[in-house]
Structure 1
Amino acid sequence: MKVRLQHVAHTRSGDKGNTSNISVFAYEPEFYGLIKEQLTADAFKAFYRKAIQGKVERYEVDNIHALNFVAHGALGGGVSRSLCLDNYGKALSAAILGFELEVPDHLTEKLHGKPLL
């Protein structure tokens, strides 16, 4: 079953200059492997189309079932230089919750919320 990331994880973010830092935390340990496998740095960058101009680095934090993404060139030159308010780190972290993951049927009962895909 395909579901949005919002049903298996939550996010936190920060931004500094033209770099956004977004962490994705699995709601359940069983979801972490799925997220880790499917939400690669390339998939993360592709999801935003051309909003992220630089490199995306992904760091795995296995002991807390989290991935941390550092997106360079993601804020239109920096929060104080950009006229695009939607590029702040918080908006980018909320947007990634729309990323679609394939979740096996045996885990659907653990999903948060009602997936409508």
Structure 2
Amino acid sequence: PVERFDLPGSHSLNFLLHESLGGGGIASVRIDPQGKGFAQMLLDIEIPVPAEMAQRDKLGMTEGSVA
């Protein structure tokens, strides 16, 4: 099972993947290289965002962009 938690004020989510390592990873909950590796893989995934949502939330807007 996967649990999703909204992190208020940061526009982010936290996902908890139960049994995701199948016993192959470390048992500690401390920050570790394996966790950092999984996080980097997640950052590389492109997520399509509907144009109306991007415009509403001003996603992709940089200084000098025209809304």
Give TM-score, length-normalised by structure 1.
0.34
Larger RCO, structure (CA 8 Å, separation 6 or more): 1
Q: Which residue pairs with 1:59 in the alignment?
A: 5
Q: Which residue pairs with 2:43 in the alignment?
A: 97
Listed as ranges, the matches of 1:1-117 within 5 Å are 55-80=1-26, 88-103=34-49, 104=51, 106=55, 107-110=59-62
Runs of at least 5 residues in structure 1 that lack an aligned partner in the other structure = 1-54, 82-87, 111-117
Structure 1 segments of 4+ aligned residues over 6 angstroms from their partners: none
User: Sequence identity, in percent?
Assistant: 36
Is the radius of gyration larger for structure 1 or structure 2? 2
How far off its partner does 1:80 sit? 4.2
Q: Which residue pairs with 1:15 in the alignment?
A: none
What do the CA deviations read for 1:41-77 (whole angstroms, capped 9, x no partner)?
A: xxxxxxxxxxxxxx11000112222211101112231
How far off its partner does 1:78 sit? 4.0
3-state SS in 2 of match to 1:63: coil
The one-letter amino acid of 2:60's match is T
Structure 1 CA distance, aligned partners of 2:60 and 2:10?
A: 21
Q: How many residues align?
A: 50
Q: More strand per residue: 1 or 2? A: 1
Report the aligned-residue RMSD.
Answer: 2.6
